[in-house]
């Protein structure tokens, strides 16, 4: 029996604003060395002051060692970020089940050393107020053209509110992709498992955000919004202090495309 070295992929949860970027700059170079990582992926939809992306914020995390980013429902919150997505060299995905004429792309083939990995981004429909096509139908369409037959690994980021939708998608694609990671709630889940046909699943990676916050944003303003039900004022991310860094290490057999191991990699740093 031929033994193959697994691909070691670190997938980082939603990074929120300046504090999230600072934690990534501190930790990703260390983790790449400590964990012998082949690639690092990140959900970046909140990276620019809590909403959307900008070219400079993506350049920041790239310089720290992030190879590629996925996103979600806030991807178009910054005009500069929307323009960035139109670039051929953009290292950020938008949800693939947005309308086809939306700026950017919903999947990408990425070279990881000598291996080829397919990264796909989807947006859930349950409790998410966005006009999207059904993610289950969309993933079928994508996998008919791009699959494990021509990639060493396939990973999906399903950005969704309902854990049932994220877990359901993983069971639906079991054996057709290597792993499904969930994002959006900013709260890490403990449901890591490998399904019978080899697909790994975690319902939510969590986030890279201030500890003294509500999902990365100022506590008082969030509470005020709940009490008054007034959504007119904007939320501001917490920019300093302790930051919790949430991620999952996924090991994938490049010969079969199956996940062989998953474990949480969660750290805290001061920024």
Residues with catalytic function = 74
Query: Which of 223, 245, 244, 247 is CA-nearest to residue 235?
Result: 223
**Which helix (H) or strand (E) element contains residue 260?**
strand 259-270
CA distance 4 to 183: 30
Task: Kindly report the number of other CB atoms within 10 A of residue 191's CB atom.
Answer: 14
Measured CA to CA in angstroms, residue 155 lies from 2, 52, 70, 131 at distances of: 24, 22, 11, 23
CA distance 20 to 26: 10
Residue 42, CA atoms < 13 Å, CB-side half-sphere: 32
CA distance 49 to 238: 9
CA distance 54 to 187: 24
CB 60, CB 21: distance < 8 Å? yes
Which residues lie closer than 8 Å to 205 by C-beta, 6 or more apart? Answer: 11, 12, 13, 14, 43, 181, 182, 183, 188, 246, 247, 248
Residue 58: phi and psi, rounded to 5, are -70, -40
CB 55, CB 26: distance < 8 Å? no
């Amino acid at each position: 029996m031929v033994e193959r070295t697994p691909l070691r992929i670190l997938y980082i949860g939603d990074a929120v604003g300046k504090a999230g970027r600072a934690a990534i700059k501190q930790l990703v170079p260390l983790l790449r060395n400590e964990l012998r990582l082949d690639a690092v992926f990140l959900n970046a939809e909140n990276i620019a002051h809590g909403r959307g992306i900008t070219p400079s914020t993506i350049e920041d995390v790239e310089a720290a060692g992030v190879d590629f980013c996925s996103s979600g429902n806030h991807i178009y919150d910054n005009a500069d970020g929307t323009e960035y997505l139109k670039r051929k060299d953009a290292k950020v995905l938008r949800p693939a089940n947005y309308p086809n004429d939306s700026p950017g792309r919903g999947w990408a083939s990425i070279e990881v050393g000598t291996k080829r990995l397919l990264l796909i981004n989807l947006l859930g429909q349950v409790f998410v107020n966005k006009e999207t096509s059904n993610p289950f139908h969309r993933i079928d369409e994508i996998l008919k053209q791009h699959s494990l037959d021509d990639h060493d690994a396939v990973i999906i980021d399903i950005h969704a509110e309902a854990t049932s939708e994220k877990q359901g998608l993983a069971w639906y694609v079991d054996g057709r992709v290597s792993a499904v990671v969930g994002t959006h709630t900013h709260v890490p889940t403990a449901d890591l498992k490998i399904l019978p046909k080899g697909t790994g699943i975690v319902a939510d990676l969590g986030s890279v955000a201030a500890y003294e916050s509500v999902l990365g944003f100022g506590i008082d303003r969030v509470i005020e919004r709940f009490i008054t039900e007034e959504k007119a004022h904007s939320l501001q991310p917490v920019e300093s202090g302790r930051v919790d860094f949430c991620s999952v290490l996924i090991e994938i057999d490049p010969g079969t495309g199956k996940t062989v191991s998953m474990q949480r990699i969660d750290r805290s740093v001061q920024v």
